[in-house]
Amino acid sequence: MLQYLLNLFGGLWHIILTMFGLGQAKPAVSTQLEVFVRTNTGEKVSVCLDPSWTVQQIKTTLAPKLKRNSHDIRIIFAGKELPDNMVIQQCDLGNHSFLHAVIVVAKEDGAANSTSDSAGKGTTISHINEISNSTSSPAVEKKIATSKEIEDKPHCSTNEVSENCAIQPTEVRNCQDFPSTKTATLLCDASTVMAIQLTEAELKAINELKSVDGSNERPYFYVYCSKPCNSVQVGKLRVRCALCKQGTLTLHRDPCNWQDVLKEGQISGTCETVGCNGNVAEFFFKCRAHETSGEDDSSVALYLVRANLPAIPCLACTEVSSPVVVFECEDAHVMCLDCFVTYCVSRLNERQFTRNLEIGYTLPCPIGCQDSLIREVHHFKLMGDNNYERYQRWGAEEAVLAAGGVLCPYPGCGQGIIADEDCRRVVCVGGCGYVFCKLCLQGYHIGECEPEGGGGPNFVGGSGTFAVDPTRAAGSRWDEASSLAIRVTTKPCPKCRTPTERDGGCMHMVCTRSSCNFHWCWVCQTEWTRECMGAHWFG
Amino acid sequence: MAAGLPRRIIKETQRLMAEPVPGISAVPDETNARYFHVVVAGPEGSPFEGGVFKLELFLPEEYPMSAPKVRFMTKIYHPNIDKLGRICLDILKDKWSPALQIRTVLLSIQALLSAPNPDDPLANDVAELWKVNESEAIRIAREWTRTYAMGN
């Protein structure tokens, strides 16, 4: 009975497929996709399609909805026009994707309602600018995988081989109807990822590796997905017009490296949106792990995070894992994600991040190689929310101090203030309102600063009546106690005043604040000298 | 006990046992796998030749993000090693990198015995003598080696 039903269903399916002109009935891969099509004139329609359809079939479906002839419709995806015989599966189109359709008004007669033989006059272009989640079935995934391996076109320029693009042609080519005239190299496929991320030497190494153990690792882009995933995820590269921010742009050439993708204005294109003269491509990344939440749902590319195709062990734990962090130093040192997090957190705890004018608060390769500072600070998001918050706060503090500012000393405030150079009286504007002395960081006073240990923070000029919140008061007592403990157990760095605790060892202190790094003597509370070394090195 | 011990430490320990560095032995403590009993032979041609120097090496929780803590247990007359056995060696301080290992640290200490550096001293009086009267300093170092490093 069940068998009969299945057969019946299979038969029906076959008929449906034939109705849609799909001669070679494939095993039922029935993942219906619903996608939204938006035209450049503001129309929005939804289309249901099947991953096994060709681009031609989408056009046929779209034609009546847009009141255009299917021959006048061009479909563009990720900066490329898709040829009619390309199968949807090859584009890894997901559910609820947004497609952009652009209607170009005919140049010669201005007639929008062109007929089937007037191709080239009035043209409707459908842009698929965004592919959402890959909800495709395993079968479809497999299909996509094969189609990716099949790609044998050079991926640097659309139509011809570019020499500076390191792509090795793959031998297999069983994609029966892959276009020969127009190359549709999609930004989402593995080949592009390889073209952008890997050097020729790396590619060679990978090809050799694959021949040995049939490695199943594939190159991917990685992004930090802030929400909803809050973790490192495989990313997708997308492109839009830098001017109108629509995906209605066809690229003049493919990106070959990270520079092309990350730097603005590297690659030009033609924007098809009516009234937009945009000619610059803007690349962005999306998270592959979650269903897209809208057109502005984008993620930051963690370009140091890569699939560990050459199987290089982590420099710290010596394990081989993937993905890994590859530093930008000459030796391209590799660290696994876990060790990278430990490295960052331990440097953060010791407050040893470096401040770089161009980049901000960052770290070099753990070996300390030259020119290896991490340029994209979103990599530090890997440390987790709490640590990242600490990282941001300290980074801001360092920036304020480097600019000659002060941090409000009121417990729990810490607002950065750039004060007048010749004025000792500082008001915490935009923060807690505390008024303090810039020199001793105590409440503002007239006359000389009192020695350390004199009175805690107190408001000056708060003459009116005020109510005391008991929890605040308790908190304040706690703050008082801890500031007392800090005063008793620490000595300030003679240069930057950072309270420093000596938990053992000799009297030679090195300021823990990496931007200060002052060498001082615990006994003299001045710069460390040979005299200190001779007289009271060990107390 | 070994639970929670990072694989890297296990691997390093195994390699130290299987292929020991010539002139150096490092054996983990029976009760603490992060604590090593180290014995370094005084390098040939140095005033420490013939001596057997005991050291302790401890891998802190943050290892390999922070350097191992190493200290001489045997008294030694050396400008870069103080009376408490603490060693002045850049790779144990600011030049530490997680790519370095127990093995490289011990090799560096062995090299430090062969080539004392009185310009970057930890034991001030020793360094002073080493600069002013090297032959006298070497004589004392030999004597200390005989007295403290050859006993048992």
Could you please report the per-residue DSSP string of A458-503?
Answer: --SS--S-----HHHHHHHHHHHHHHHHHHHHEEE-TTT--EEE--
ipTM confidence = 0.81
Spell out which residues of chain B touch residue A346, defining contact as CB-CB under 8 Å.
Answer: 62, 65-66
Whose tokens are 């105590």? That residue is A442
Q: What is the pLDDT of residue A459?
A: 43
The verdict on a CB contact (< 8 Å) between A317 and B95 is: no
The verdict on a CB contact (< 8 Å) between A534 and B124 is: yes
Q: What is the pLDDT of residue A3?
A: 59
Which residue is catalytic, options B76, B88, B106, B129? Answer: B88
Q: Residue A78 to residues A182, A186, A265, B7: CA-CA distances in angstroms?
A: 15, 6, 17, 44
pLDDT-derived band of residue B117, with 50, 70 and 90 as boundaries? confident
Q: Name the token pair of A493.
A: 């760095």
Q: What is the pLDDT of residue B29?
A: 94
B 24-53: CB under 8 A from A: none
Q: What is the pLDDT of residue A257?
A: 75
**A465 to chain B, closest Cα gap in Å:** 52
The verdict on a CB contact (< 8 Å) between B124 and A537 is: yes
**A343 to chain B, closest Cα gap in Å:** 6
Q: What is the pLDDT of residue A17?
A: 45
Q: What is the pLDDT of residue A170?
A: 33
Q: pLDDT tens digits, residue range B67-113?
A: 999 999 999 999 888 888 888 888 998 889 999 999 999 999 999 99
Question: Which segments within A370-487 are labelled E, that is strand?
Answer: 406-407, 416-417, 425-427, 435-437
Long-range contacts made by residues A378-383, C-beta under 8 angstroms, separation at least 24? A378/A224, A378/A300, A378/A302, A379/A224, A379/A302, A379/A304, A379/A305, A379/A325, A379/A340, A380/A344, A381/A224, A381/A226, A382/A224, A382/A232, A382/A302, A382/A337, A382/A340, A382/A341, A382/A344, A383/A341, A383/A344, A383/A345, A383/A348
- Residue ranges of chain A with per-residue pLDDT less than 70: 1-31, 38-42, 76-80, 90-219, 294-295, 450-468, 539
CB proximity B4 to A under 8 Å: no
Q: What is the pLDDT of residue B75?
A: 94
**B38 to chain A, closest Cα gap in Å:** 22
Nearest CA in chain A to B65: A343
Q: What is the pLDDT of residue B46?
A: 93
Per DSSP, the three-state class of B37 is: strand
* Domain edges within chain B: 7-149
Cβ contacts below 8 Å, chain A against chain B, sum to: 41
Q: What is the pLDDT of residue A10?
A: 53
Q: What is the pLDDT of residue A466?
A: 60
User: Amino acid letter at B115?
Assistant: A
Per DSSP, the three-state class of A435 is: strand
Spell out which residues of chain B touch residue A319, defining contact as CB-CB under 8 Å.
Answer: 7-8
Q: What is the pLDDT of residue A109?
A: 41
Q: Quick check: B77 and B126 in contact, CB under 8 A?
A: yes
Q: What is the pLDDT of residue A425?
A: 85
Q: What is the pLDDT of residue A379?
A: 93
pTM, 2 dp: 0.67
Which residue is catalytic, options A413, A506, A516, A524? Answer: A506
Q: What share of chain A is helix, strand, coil (3-state, %, to 5)?
A: 25, 20, 55
pLDDT > 90: percent of chain A: 9
State the Cα–Cα distance between residues A297 and A286, nearest whole angstrom.
7
- For B7-149, CATH gives 3.10.110.10
Spell out which residues of chain B touch residue A342, defining contact as CB-CB under 8 Å.
Answer: 62, 65
What is the gyration radius of the CA atoms in chain B, in angstroms? 16
Contacts of A487 (CB under 8 A, 6+ apart): A452, A453, A499
Whether A496 is catalytic is: no
Q: What is the pLDDT of residue A226?
A: 84
Q: Quick check: B68 and B55 in contact, CB under 8 A?
A: no
Among partner residues B6, B65, B124, which is closest to A346 by beta-carbon distance? Answer: B65
Helices (H) and strands (E) in chain B, counts: 4, 4
Q: What is the pLDDT of residue A467?
A: 64
Nearest CA in chain B to A369: B97
